[in-house]
Chain A
Amino acid sequence: MSSIVFWLLAIVTVGAALAVVVLRDVFRAALSLVLLFLTIAVLYITLYADFLAVVQILIYVGAISILIIVAVMLTRDVWHGSPPGKLRIPAIVVSVLLLGTMVYTVVSSKWETSSEPPLQPTTAAIGTNLFSQGGYVMPVEISAVLLLAAILGAIVLIRDK
């Protein structure tokens, strides 16, 4: 059952990613990017990462995709589409080579997988892991500063002089 779900999700995910790259209409590419984000949220659920699935939907499907669609509409080059540039053939070669290397490495490595049952639900455990002693309090603070810097940077860049 779970393998059927995985294969379906894998096909939809790869198809949506290919559509983002191949489609010439930028707006359709943005819509298939939304589909990609949604299927990745479902993939997180199959990996027992319920909190991350909700975060994925909130941030990617809710915020980043809206941001990208607004950017597509503000830049009126939509009608010119997104033609591939001069580097098309080298780009294909580089990505296929990298894909081959990564697949070979993944298949030939002996991963030490654990047979323990996954933690469920994960929200409380992530919270205690993030904020407990010896946890990730410092990175959380730094990411707060990073977000503030990003907001300020975006405002400064966009503002009319």
Chain B
Amino acid sequence: MEVGLNHYLILSAVLFCIGLYGVLAKRNAVVILMCIEIMLNAVNIALVAFSRYVVPVFLTGQIFAIFVITVAAAEAAVGIAIIITIYRRRESVDIDKFDLMKW
């Protein structure tokens, strides 16, 4: 069977859901950040697959993927800075103990 757009979209959906499970279920903040990266990568696969199969000569999806990668890099830098700052204060990366913003 020829590999087409559907295959890539379903692979992207599977990766996205694995990442979503990790974000919801994990307690280690660094692992949650990793799972967010998985989700962003899944979205990128879908964008590039659309670009390849729907508009092969315009590359719109690939340009969108470049912007997603930019935002993901910024997000990773700030996210890890926040995690390390909280770790310094609390000696823990357990998300259940991050209740600073609870009143």
Contact = CB atoms under 8 A, between A and B. Distances in A.
B26 A59 contact: no
Chain A CB within 10 A, most for which of B4, B10, B19, B28 = B28
Interface in A2-22: 2-3, 6, 10, 13-14, 17-18, 20-21
A87 B25 contact: yes
A84 interface: yes
A17 B21 CA distance: 11
B48 A47 contact: yes
B6 to A, nearest CB: 6
Nearest to A157: B81
A55 B66 contact: yes
B38 A6 contact: no
Contact of B28 (A3, A26, A87, A157): A26
Interface string B34-54: 110110010011001101111
B85 A157 contact: yes
Contacts, number: 238
Given A3-B1, A13-B11, A68-B30, A95 B56 contact: no
A114 B56 contact: yes
B78 A143 contact: no
A37 B76 CA distance: 14
Contacts of B30: 26, 30, 68, 71-72, 75, 82
Nearest to B72: A64
Contact of B34 (A6, A30, A90): A30
B91 to A, nearest CB: 8
B32 to A, nearest CB: 9
B4 to A, nearest CB: 7
A116 B53 CA distance: 9
Contacts of B11: 10, 13-14, 43
A10 B3 CA distance: 11
B31 A143 contact: no
B17 to A, nearest CB: 4
Interface of B: 1-11, 13-22, 24-31, 33-35, 37-38, 41, 44-45, 48-49, 51-60, 62-63, 65-67, 69-78, 80-85, 87, 92-96
| A-B pairs with lowest CB-CB distance, top 9 | A150-B74, A91-B24, A82-B28, A91-B25, A157-B81, A102-B13, A154-B81, A99-B17, A95-B21
